[in-house]
Structure 1
């Protein structure tokens, strides 16, 4: 029984780590990063306040936050608490935080 419980715990930890790695597999090429940075400078947005929301990669933004398109990039952007964030529109999760 003890061996079975340890195996189950190990399996859960393995699955959790696989999910965490998959969430971090977003790759933004240097070219995409340049496109985003230049576009954001030319198309500034008003910053929105989101009290209690941490601006970290993987944080999902609420549906109330409007996401804006960046030409030729699959991600969208917005400005939260004066920081530009790049967001996956399908999950609304932050994929990059610009300072």
Structure 2
């Protein structure tokens, strides 16, 4: 019983580590490029009732994502907040107020 609990605990911690490894970190130079581009290319804000603007939230396919030149990530404006999105997973990786 103790061995099983220890093994389960280890697997839980391993899962947490794997989830943390999936966290996207935007490099400072990319952050600068994104911020400057978004200022120069403003978008109209859209409303998404029921969608929380948190890191890790997946956006529906109906939300148009705009490219940022020379950066992998895309952006859109929801509820007057700019969000940076991973285009492969459509998950929010950064929210700017």
TM-score by length of 2: 0.89
Tell me, what secondary structure is at the counterpart of 1:6? helix
In structure 1, runs of 5+ residues without a counterpart are none
Q: What root-mean-square deviation, in Å, do the aligned CA atoms of Structure 1 and Structure 2 show? A: 1.3
Q: Which segment is superposed worse, 45-54 or 89-98?
A: 45-54
Q: CA deviation at 1:42?
A: 1.0
Q: Which residue of 1 aligns with 2:21?
A: 22
Q: Deviations over 1:36-69 (max 9, x none)?
A: 1111111111111111211111111111111100
Task: Return the alpha-carbon distance in structure 2 between the equivalents of residues 29 and 85 of structure 1.
Answer: 16
CA 1:19–1:51 in structure 2 vs 1: closer, same or farther (change >3 Å)?
farther
Task: Return the alpha-carbon distance in structure 1 between the equivalents of residues 13 and 51 of structure 2.
Answer: 28
Q: Which segment is superposed worse, 29-38 or 84-93?
A: 29-38
Q: Which segment is superposed worse, 50-59 or 67-76?
A: 50-59
In structure 2, runs of 5+ residues without a counterpart are none
CA contact (8 A) 1:23 1:58 kept: no
TM-score by length of 1: 0.88
Task: Return the alpha-carbon distance in structure 1 between the equivalents of residues 2 and 35 of structure 2.
Answer: 52
